[in-house]
Each structure stands twice: as structure tokens, then as C-alpha cells.
């Protein structure tokens, strides 16, 4: 029997920090009107049952651990779809103080599906594309290989990490500098050290 996981992909959806526009469109794609179920798609709320992870909205310090927790609970092979422009790159909120970036700042993304808001047809197209990647990963696993050698994980840079204060700890998180950690404060002088000369004091000494 030729078994393929893509014949009945189970999807789990998580809405990060979106405006709920893409969130509604993802849900619309699962209704009888657009009928994603004709491709065997089943919506589940359990990460351990899911094959495809649909994420809407950008990533911030609050939902970064949640996105990673859901992803880590999913069993291999698995695929991630960034639904909407905010999930792809941060969108119009990318310059906000609390936005780290798109979903790929948290986990590897296999399929990018832009749109503001994303159309249900685009969501279905992205799921179908993810199914193809899912089959590739399954074939690699059956051959004894690593599924992370297929899809978005091959080019993923590791994302960002949060420090103890809840802010991004590592500098250089994004190519454009988004999400970089602030510059470190200069160290305080040790007890007994003479204070550094100010330009005014140096000028008076002359």
C-alpha cells in the first residue's frame, strides 16, 4: 500500500499577534464554502496530532515561547506555513517596539503565504504545497535520513533568543537589524578608580 501522509494532513492553527484578519481567513478556508477538507485536511487542537502548523501574525516576546512549544510538540515529519504578511516578515508591525519579526524568527518556515489579509484560496494553496514538502520529509525519514534536511530548516538561521528580562538577548537577530539587542551600558568604574577626564577638565589642564 502506497501510504502518504499528505492524503490526510492534520493542521493546527495558532494566531500570534495579528489583527485577526488572517486568523478569520484561515478559519474560513476550513468551512464548507472553501472546503479544504476535500484535500483530506483535518483541523486539530493537539500539536501531537498535527502535521502542518499554520501561524498567523508576527512574533513578539510574549508568543515566541508559545510558538516554539507548539512546534516542538509536533512529531516529525512536520511543516510550518506562515499565513499572511505579518507572519512572513512582521508586516506593517515590523517596526513596533515589541515585534521581533515573522514566524521564521522563532521556528523554521517551509511555506510563505503572503497577503493582507491572506485569502482562503491562498491558505489552501499553501497547505497543498506543504503537503508536497511533507511527502519529501516522510520519504527521507523512511530512508533513515533527517527530515530537517528538507524544507525551511535547511536555510534557517536559528531565530532569536530571549534574555532573562524577556527581551531579545542576541544581537544580529535580523538582516535589517530588527530585533537586535540594545547596546550594553558602559561598566561602572571600580571603587577607588579615578574618574575619566571630561573634555572640559582636559582643556583647563592645558
Measure the CA–CA gap between 75 and 50, rounded to whole angstroms: 8
Grid cell, residue 142, equals 523512511
* Burial grade of 112 (CB within 10 A; 0-12, 13-18, 19 or more): buried
* Burial grade of 69 (CB within 10 A; 0-12, 13-18, 19 or more): exposed
Average pLDDT, the chain: 81
The values of phi and psi at residue 33, to 5°, are: -65, -45
In whole angstroms, what separates CA 66 from the centre of its chain?
Answer: 11
- Of 3-7, 39-43, 61-65, give the lowest mean pLDDT range: 3-7
**Number of continuous H segments (helices) and E segments (strands) in the chain:** 5, 7
Segments of the chain assigned E as strands:
10-15, 42-43, 52-56, 59-60, 79-83, 99-101, 111-113
Residue 188: per-residue pLDDT? 43
pLDDT band at 5 (very low <50, low <70, confident <90, very high): low
Measure the CA–CA gap between 101 and 69, rounded to whole angstroms: 18
What is the rounded radius of gyration, in angstroms, for the C-alpha atoms of the chain?
22
* Burial grade of 123 (CB within 10 A; 0-12, 13-18, 19 or more): buried
pLDDT of residue 197 exceeding 60, the answer is no
Residue 47: per-residue pLDDT? 93
Averaged pLDDT for residues 123-148: 92
Amino acid at each position: 500500500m502506497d501510504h502518504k501522509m499528505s492524503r490526510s494532513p492534520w493542521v493546527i492553527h495558532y494566531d500570534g499577534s495579528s489583527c485577526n484578519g488572517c486568523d478569520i481567513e484561515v478559519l474560513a478556508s476550513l468551512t464548507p464554502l472553501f472546503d479544504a477538507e476535500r484535500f483530506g485536511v483535518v483541523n486539530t487542537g493537539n500539536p501531537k496530532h498535527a502535521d502542518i502548523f499554520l501561524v498567523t501574525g508576527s512574533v513578539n516576546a510574549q508568543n515566541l515561547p508559545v510558538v516554539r512549544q507548539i512546534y516542538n510538540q509536533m512529531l516529525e515529519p512536520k511543516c510550518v506555513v506562515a499565513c499572511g504578511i505579518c507572519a512572513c516578515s512582521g508586516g506593517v508591525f515590523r517596526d513596533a517596539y515589541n515585534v521581533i519579526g515573522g514566524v521564521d524568527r522563532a521556528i523554521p518556515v517551509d511555506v510563505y503565504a503572503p497577503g493582507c489579509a491572506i485569502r482562503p484560496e491562498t491558505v489552501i494553496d499553501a497547505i497543498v504545497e506543504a503537503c508536497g514538502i511533507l511527502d519529501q520529509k516522510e520519504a527521507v525519514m523512511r530512508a533513515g535520513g533527517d527530515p530537517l534536511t528538507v524544507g525551511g530548516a535547511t536555510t534557517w538561521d536559528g531565530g532569536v533568543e530571549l534574555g532573562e528580562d524577556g527581551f531579545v538577548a542576541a544581537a544580529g537577530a535580523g538582516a535589517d537589524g530588527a530585533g537586535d539587542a540594545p547596546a550594553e551600558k558602559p561598566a561602572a568604574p571600580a571603587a577607588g578608580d579615578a574618574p575619566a577626564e571630561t573634555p572640559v577638565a582636559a582643556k583647563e589642564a592645558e
